[in-house]
Structures are given as C-alpha cells and as structure tokens.
Chain A
Amino acid sequence: MPCIQPDGTLTLTAMFVLKSLGEGPLPPEEIARRLGEPVFKVRGSLREMMGAGLIEEAEGAYRLTELGRGKLK
C-alpha cells in the first residue's frame, strides 16, 4: 500500500499510521486492526515509511522518529 506519493506528500493511510503511532509504539497487527486492512498491506506500508525515515522498529513494534513526529505538526 504506497504511503508516499511521487511528489513526497503522504497518503491518508500514511497519515493515519503516523497519528496512531503518535499515541505510542504499536505492532503491525494492531495498526492493521485500527486501519481495518490486512496485515500484509500494513507491513508493506511500514517498510516504505521506515525507508523514508518517518518511523523506526524496535522489538516488533513501530514508533515515530523525529521526522515522523514533525509530519504530524
């Protein structure tokens, strides 16, 4: 599920993920539950967002980076 548009803007899904992670670290399964999307889609999105430096992973849960937190402002 692409999260970052070719022009660098974030999709609604990406913004939803960032907002969810703004409340604290979450595993992909919980993000998928909140989004109402299958886990495989969320894993793809998280990988893309991690590649863009918006989030980071630790022990199976994802959390915002400073860059990701900045996108929420």
Chain B
Amino acid sequence: MSVNPEPSVPAPRALPRIGDPAPPFTAETTFGTLKLEDFKGSWLVLFSHPADFTPVCTTEFLAFAEIHSELRALNCELMGLSIDSVFSHIAWVRNIEEKMGVKIDFPIIADLNKEVATLYGMINPGESKTETSRAVFVIDPQQVVRAIIYYPLTTGRNMHEILRLVKALQTTDAHGVATPANWQPGDKVILPPPRTVEAAAERVAQEGVECKDWYFCKKAL
C-alpha cells in the first residue's frame, strides 16, 4: 500500500505568547532602521495604533509621551507601530508638536508591508483588515514577551495601567513575588504559594508575613 504524502500546506504562523521569545525584526522607523535586538538590555513597550492623524490615536500619543520619561527611569523604552509611511509618521509627530506642544521622542515603525504587525498578530481582520488594533507587547531585557494587551479601535488605552504593568513585572523579577489585583508600587505583594505540606506549615509560621491562609500570604517589600 502506498502512502500519499499530505500536500504541502504552509504551517500557520504562531503568534507570540507570554513567555515566548519576542519575534525578531528589522524595521524602518522615524529614528531610522531599527532591529528588535537594538533594545536588548532594556525593557520595551512595543505598541500598535490604527492610523496616524486620527483622534483617539492622537490622545494616546499625547498620553504615551506623558509616561515616556517615567518608563525611561524604569529602563523601559517605547516604540509605536502603524501601517503608515515614515513620511506620514513624521508629518503627524510634527503636527502633534506644533498644535499640541508635545514632542514625541520615541520611534514609530512604518509598517507599510504589515511585516511586523503580522509577526506580532497586531491586525485583527474581524475588526479591520487595513489597520492595526491597539496592541501592547511588554518585552523584557532578554527579549521575552512578558505581557500582551489588546484594545479595540474605539477605545484608547490607559497609560497608568501600562506603567503599573511594567512596574509589577519588574517587582516580580526583582523579588520573586506576585502582585495582587489593583496593586500599586508600595502595596504589599503576594508570596508564591507553598508546594509541599512542610512548606505550608513553615509559611503560616513565618514572621513578617501576613497570611489569610497558608496559600494566601502577603508581605511588604
């Protein structure tokens, strides 16, 4: 009996997920050609917006510019992306500076061929086939994807949440802890639950730790 091989069908491209290496790319940006690897050693908030010269995106750029220096202080860079030309990006950031007095001091990828947007799954065809959704990828200094946020075209993102997310991830890395709902820097953090009966007994007896029960303990940093 002969076995017919399956017709060759290109494997669907796997989108990056939390914990995956961030897909490498080389892109034309408002700061010249940049590679993802240029950001090695610092955190990166890579975000997409639907289009230049649109009102919600303009409010977002003003808000991103507002948190930019705070992100920088956290060793975190910012980079935008949309399916627009670099000339459109330049005209838009100049317009923002001229009309609103805010300098956009971070690079924006001109992803006309949708290469990076496709690589990162930033286009949701059910919503729009020609625009990127409001995606956010938080990438760590080792270039691993640590968090992903998607917002629809109609809803501007909350920059305080993006800032909080970066701070929470850095706190987790620095102290080996988790952060509870609505955590803010300075709040108590959550200890990882014990994984043995012995460790559970030790945890509830541990000093400086506030436990609701053995699996739910917080401490101040």
Report A's interface with B, CB cutoff 8 A.
Answer: 1-3, 38-41, 43-45, 47-48
- Contact (Cβ within 8 A) A40 B34: yes
- Contact (Cβ within 8 A) A44 B33: yes
Residues of B within 8 A of A3 (CB): 32
Q: Number of B interface residues, CB 8 Å?
A: 12
Residues of A within 8 A of B33 (CB): 44, 47-48
- Contact (Cβ within 8 A) B42 A1: no
- Contact (Cβ within 8 A) B32 A40: no
- Pull 27 A–B residue pairs with CB atoms less than 8 Å apart, ordered by A: A1-B31, A1-B32, A2-B31, A2-B32, A3-B32, A38-B42, A38-B72, A38-B77, A39-B38, A39-B41, A40-B38, A40-B39, A40-B42, A41-B31, A43-B35, A43-B37, A43-B38, A44-B31, A44-B32, A44-B33, A44-B34, A44-B35, A44-B38, A45-B32, A47-B33, A47-B35, A48-B33
Residues of B within 8 A of A41 (CB): 31, 38
In the complex, what's the smallest C-beta–C-beta distance from A15 to chain B, in angstroms? 16
In the complex, what's the smallest C-beta–C-beta distance from B105 to chain A, in angstroms? 10
| A38: nearest chain-B partner, CB-CB | B77
